[in-house]
Structure 1
Amino acid sequence: MSDYTVGIVGTGPHPDASDHDGYSMGYRHARSYRAVEGCRVDACADVVSEHAEAFGEEFDLGDRVFTDLEAMLDTAAPEIVSICTPPSTHVDLVETCAAHDGVQAVHCEKPMAPTFEGSRRLVEVCDAANIQLTINLQNRCSNAAAEVKTIIENGAIGDLERVEIGRQDLLQTGLHHIDLANYVMDDEPVEWVLGQIDYPEEHVWYTNMPAEVQSLGIWEYESGVHAICSTGEGTDAVGAQTNRFVGTEGEIEFELFDRYRIKTDESGEWVTVEVGGDPAQDEAIAVVVDALANDEDPIVSGERALGATEVVFGVWESARRRGRVSLPLEIDDNPLEAMIESGDLPPDA
């Protein structure tokens, strides 16, 4: 395997000073790169100098600590760049990386962008520059996800008929589960989406990105398998935030950990299966590096992430149109944000 240098953009605060479960994603990415043979974290950039400096000390980066992405690219010239900043910055940062000759791969945090046009733009820019784009939907890289996919393909629950998903919201947390459903479905195209949303109070991620408070979405894959996703009230109960795959002869539940449970018509009861393996974050970074080294299509590619993203925007667009929408989507904006701004979906006073 080739040796690659890595630059982290958006270090965030040191884990000891973070309010995000003890970590920023910049630190998570860096620690996962450290676990992969054939690459090293060599530089970082963050607009907050104190954050960049603390990160540089943590990972012994010397003077390769920056507050500007272009300065990092010009001086350190990393071949792989991980972007761990808020979604509103992703398009500009990816475009900057794509314009730099030394960058071979960009690994970007999700969500892809605040608008569907921006999400498409990430893929288009990297395709045009012949740069590998991956999105950190890491759960499809876990050993447990691979085993769930294999046993479904092998007919353990008969023919797959339906996928049921529950999560806090669609674009920030639910995207992982929608992407996992797409992974099990071999990223099969979605034919249509039907959805409804509720926004009775302000609910915002990253200071400027609204998320629905409650939603219900249904879609159909090309093969006829249906999926249903609910978010908000009722999905925070134990066991509710999960993927359930329902077949003609049984069902499987997977909660994004290193285990799943299965019930078949033959057994008649739930059986929990412990899978183990490396953390999904480490596995995802290994996929990024391996795919680049071997010139392979990574399973966390930007194109695949766009498929899950399109389902989310499709639910919001269905709510805006008050009807079913066919895919591919022909919109550029963010329907949820547009409805809030227009007054069609105002939070309660």
Structure 2
Amino acid sequence: MSDYTVGIVGTGPHPDESDHDGYSMGYRHARSYRTVGGCRVDACTDVVSEHAKAFGDEFDLDGCVFTDLEEMLDTAEPDIVSICTPPSTHADLVETCARHDGVRAVHCEKPMATTFGESRRLVEVCDDADVQLTINLQNRCSDAAAEVKTVIEDGTIGDLERIEIGRQDLLQTGLHHIDLANYVMGDEPVEWILGQIDYPEEHVWYTDMAAEVQSLGMWEYESGVYALCSTGNGMDAVGSRTNRFVGTEGEIEFQLFDRYRIRTTKSGEWETVDVGGDHAQDEAIAVVVDALETDGDPIVSGERALGGTEIVFGVWESARRRSRVSLPLEIDDNPLEAMIEAGELPSA
């Protein structure tokens, strides 16, 4: 295997100093790269010099610590760049990396961006530059997710009829579960989406990314399988952090861990299945490196991530139009943010 060098963009504060684990994803990425043969973390950059220095000390980067991305790219010349900054910065950072001669792969944190147009842009600029783009929707890389997919394909719960999803919100937390639904469906196209949202008070991630307080979304896959997603105050209708796959002869519940539970019409009782396996984050980084080595099609590709992203923006667009929307989605903006700015979402 080739020896790939890695640069981390957006270290964030040390996890011990952070009040939100998502602000320190650079540490997670770096630790996962260390578990994969054939690559090493060589450099980092963060606009906060103290954060970059602490990261450099943690991972023994021997002075390859920067506060400017282009300086890091020119000096360290990494083969792979992991982007772990807030989503509003992703489009410009991905493009800067993709346009640099030395970069061969970009692995970007989710969500892809804060607008659908910029989310598409990530894929387009990397395609144009012939750079591998992957998005850190790591849970589809887990052994448990793979087994759930296989069990469903084997017909253990009969014909799959419906997928149910419950999570805190759509774009930040729910995207993992929507992506898992797409993974189980073989990233099958979605025909239409119908959605409604509630935004009675300010609700933001990363200081600048709005999220609905509650939503209810429904969509239909090309094969006729339906999906229902309930977030916020309604997530317990499905179960917090849950993907439920309902078939004609049983159902499966999966909550992003190394186990799932299954109940068939034959048994009538829930059975918990422990799968084990490596941590999903480690598995995702292994997929990134292996795909680069083999020129393969990574299961966390930007194109696949765009499918789940389109569903999120589709729910918001349906709420904006007050009608069902057909895909592909032909918008560039963020419907939720547009409605907030226009005062179209009444307060409670």
Would the TM-score normalized by the shorter structure come out above 0.5? yes
CA distance in 2, matches of 1:313, 1:56: 37
CA distance in 2, matches of 1:188, 1:9: 32
Equivalent in the alignment of 2:281: 281
**Aligned residues with identical type, % of pairs:** 84
Equivalent in the alignment of 2:51: 51
CA distance in 2, matches of 1:83, 1:203: 24
* Alignment-mate amino acid for residue 75 of structure 1: T
Equivalence map 1:1-349=2 (5 Å): 1-21=1-21, 24-235=24-235, 239-348=239-348
The alpha-carbon deviation at position 238 of structure 1 amounts to 9.9
Measured against aligned partners, the alpha-carbon deviations of 1:16-56 in whole angstroms (never above 9, x if no partner) come to 10112497100000000000000000000000000000000
Measured against aligned partners, the alpha-carbon deviations of 1:296-347 in whole angstroms (never above 9, x if no partner) come to 0000000000000000000000000000000000000000000000011144
**8 Å contact from structure 1 (residues 52, 66) kept in 2:** yes
Change (3 A) 1:9 1:169: same
Task: Say which SS state the counterpart of residue 320 (structure 1) adopts.
Answer: helix
Measured against aligned partners, the alpha-carbon deviations of 1:239-277 in whole angstroms (never above 9, x if no partner) come to 432000000000000000000000001111100000001
CA distance in 2, matches of 1:179, 1:149: 13
**8 Å contact from structure 1 (residues 258, 277) kept in 2:** yes
Structure 1 stretches of 4+ moved >6 Å = none
Task: Say which SS state the counterpart of residue 197 (structure 2) adopts.
Answer: strand
Task: Say which SS state the counterpart of residue 173 (structure 2) adopts.
Answer: helix
**8 Å contact from structure 2 (residues 214, 234) kept in 1:** no
Unmatched segments (≥5 aa) in structure 1: none
Change (3 A) 1:22 1:10: closer
* Alignment-mate amino acid for residue 231 of structure 1: T
CA distance in 1, matches of 2:237, 2:186: 29
**8 Å contact from structure 2 (residues 171, 211) kept in 1:** yes
**8 Å contact from structure 1 (residues 234, 240) kept in 2:** no
**8 Å contact from structure 2 (residues 192, 325) kept in 1:** yes
Task: Say which SS state the counterpart of residue 40 (structure 1) adopts.
Answer: strand
TM-score normalised by structure 2 residue count: 0.98
Unmatched segments (≥5 aa) in structure 2: none
Question: Aligned pairs, how many?
Answer: 348
Task: Say which SS state the counterpart of residue 299 (structure 1) adopts.
Answer: coil
CA distance in 1, matches of 2:27, 2:83: 11
**8 Å contact from structure 2 (residues 166, 237) kept in 1:** no
CA distance in 1, matches of 2:22, 2:320: 37
Task: Say which SS state the counterpart of residue 106 (structure 1) adopts.
Answer: strand
CA distance in 1, matches of 2:109, 2:236: 24
TM-score normalised by structure 1 residue count: 0.98
The alpha-carbon deviation at position 131 of structure 1 amounts to 0.3
**8 Å contact from structure 2 (residues 143, 275) kept in 1:** yes
* Alignment-mate amino acid for residue 219 of structure 1: W
Measured against aligned partners, the alpha-carbon deviations of 1:83-138 in whole angstroms (never above 9, x if no partner) come to 00000100110110011010000000001000000000000000000000000000
Change (3 A) 1:319 1:237: closer
Change (3 A) 1:236 1:32: farther
CA distance in 1, matches of 2:33, 2:322: 45
Change (3 A) 1:22 1:106: closer
**8 Å contact from structure 1 (residues 15, 22) kept in 2:** no
CA distance in 2, matches of 1:170, 1:262: 25
CA distance in 1, matches of 2:157, 2:309: 28
Change (3 A) 1:23 1:214: closer
Task: Say which SS state the counterpart of residue 328 (structure 1) adopts.
Answer: coil
**8 Å contact from structure 1 (residues 16, 22) kept in 2:** no
The alpha-carbon deviation at position 63 of structure 1 amounts to 1.4
* Alignment-mate amino acid for residue 215 of structure 1: S
* Alignment-mate amino acid for residue 83 of structure 1: I
